[in-house]
Amino acid sequence: MSAWDTDRLSITSLAVGDECAVLRLSGELDHGSEKFYLDRIGAALSAGYRYLVLDVTALVFCDSRGLNCLLALRWLLHRRDGMLLLACVGRRLAHLLAVTGSTEVLPDYASVSQALATLPAEHRPVWPPPAGHHPDLPLHSPESVESSWQRGANPHLPPTGPEPR
């Protein structure tokens, strides 16, 4: 498995197909990990993945900034005729999705298998992956975060401008 790590968030590639990747998010998705998340997920999108299943079993914290990261990804995948599916959502994230009304746009499934079953068969990676299988994803987006995520048009990303002091 390939994994991207920072001190707050880890993103691990579990399985990949032609247009679909299954990734596990571990740790915290918030302001402190936002840039890392956008860069790494942007790399997966630049590699051509239109369907992403995020296994969030090990996501221990997600605040409103993290939710905006998920909504930004959903928005971009939808524009590319793809989908974002969440698998193994814990109680805290489920509560955040419910109180913000995000369950309407961010479907969640009890398992990765259930999430993959909703995708067209030709786009699903082999699941569970064969023993010893270590899918690789690019480490960084070849484009800047701003251009790969179409910052100006995406309502879920923070506005551009000078960095706060």
Order of strands across the sheet with 3-5? 3-5, 9-16, 20-29, 51-62, 83-87, 108-109
pLDDT score at 46: 87
Residues of the chain with pLDDT below 50 are: 1, 144-148, 163-165
pTM of the model as a whole: 0.83
Fold of 3-153: Transcription Regulator spoIIAA (3.30.750)
Per-residue DSSP letters for 91-155? Answer: HHHHHHHHHTTGGGTS-EESSHHHHHHTS-GGGPPPSSPPTT------SS-SS-HHHHTTGGG-T
Q: Which positions ≥6 away from 29 have C-beta within 8 Å?
A: 9, 37, 59, 61, 62, 63, 65, 66, 69, 70
pLDDT score at 94: 96
pLDDT score at 164: 47
